[in-house]
A and B are shown apart, each in its own frame.
Chain A
């Protein structure tokens, strides 16, 4: 499924959503949500392929899986938070969208703290 089909699908859904938004605005939001999910499902094989390659490289370069796992988790959180907040913004709920992004930033920060601590500790060891 290459980019042409995805763009075609996106344009068709865009037109349908415009029609629906005049008649029934909530239905248009549900339609765009479905389209977002379907496009993610289409891209799933490529994403898993890239992540497997990343894991193998990390394994060979004996980077500990903790850091790589955290990076993948942060990527996942960022994707889902962006998915939700963009849909809320499309529906006109800007306040809700910024609340979702605020929560996502806090979660990412909480996940990044162990890595920051590890870096600082290694730095402190370097300083004589």
Chain B
């Protein structure tokens, strides 16, 4: 319940990586731009996978699915 701020963290990281990659593209450093995007994406993926793990545990416990 308390992790509503996770939504804004993800939005923040997403926007930051978008700005960072366009900035890096301006400086003709396209490879770094790709790395920055991948970095941001992995951080967000880490959070989301953790959250999905919690969801699946909760669903298993609520619906007695095992």
Contacts and interface: CB of A to CB of B under 8 A. Distances in A.
A38 B6 contact: yes
Interface residues of A, number: 34
Contact of A27 (B41, B55, B59, B64): B41
Given A20-B15, A24-B37, A76-B62, A37 B10 contact: no
Interface residues of B, number: 31
Contacts of B17: 24, 27
Interface in B4-51: 4, 6-8, 10-11, 13-15, 17-18, 37, 40-41, 44-45, 47-48, 51
Given A20-B14, A23-B18, A34 B37 contact: no
Interface of A: 1, 9, 12-13, 16, 19-20, 23-24, 26-28, 30-31, 33-35, 37-38, 40-42, 44, 47-48, 51, 69, 72-73, 75-77, 79-80
Given A31-B7, A34-B6, A26 B62 contact: no
Given A27-B44, A33-B52, A72 B10 contact: no
A13 B62 CA distance: 26
A45 to B, nearest CB: 9
Contact of A30 (B3, B48, B56, B59): B48
A22 B14 CA distance: 11
